[in-house]
Amino acid sequence: MLSQKAKYALKALLYLAQQEDTHVSRTLEIADAASIPKKFLEQILLDLKRGHFVGSKQGKLGGYYLLKSKNEITLADIHRLFDGAIALLPCASLNFYERCSDCTDESTCALRHGLIVIREETLKAMQGITIASLIHR
């Protein structure tokens, strides 16, 4: 399941993607439009900025805008940024690999192979969902 953060991030990105290219959106504007607690959204937008998905303009008349194209931002990206690994266990993860502490021999682990298959399938599906594809139904 997605965390609230990831869900709010997607909603914020969907909002930004639907504004005109020149428009910068204030946090409060996004929070109101997408029903997100403003202070919580501040953190989320900073995370999205550090992930290079959005840019910001400081000071009066400042705000946020999409940095990447809405065709390039995928569900997989946002999941990884806020909720971490796509895989069901760290040992089956591409970007968040970690050995299982209770695993005696990874190469013969019956679980791992199956979970790698799942990760491949899920990742492919999640990479197929972009902000743009979500907007166009």
Partner DNA sequence: TTTAAACTCTACTAATTTTATAGAATTTAT
Partner DNA sequence: ATAAATTCTATAAAATTAGTAGAGTTTAAA
Residues of this chain that bind a copy of itself (CB under 8 A): 1-2, 7, 10-11, 14, 35-36, 75, 79, 84-85, 87-90, 102, 104, 110-111, 113-114, 117-118, 121-122, 124-126, 128-129, 133-135, 137
Helices (DSSP H) in 1-137: which residue ranges?
4-17, 27-34, 38-50, 75-83, 110-127, 131-135
96 or 124, CB closer to DNA? 96
Which helix H or strand E contains 66, and what residues bound it?
A: strand 63-66
CA atoms within 13 A on the CB side of 121: 7
Read off φ and ψ for residue 111, nearest 5 degrees. Answer: -65, -50
122 binds DNA (CB under 7 A): no
Closer Cβ to a copy of itself, 15 or 64, answer by number: 15
Interface with DNA (CB under 7 A): 3-5, 8, 25-28, 37-40, 42-43, 45-46, 49, 56-64, 83
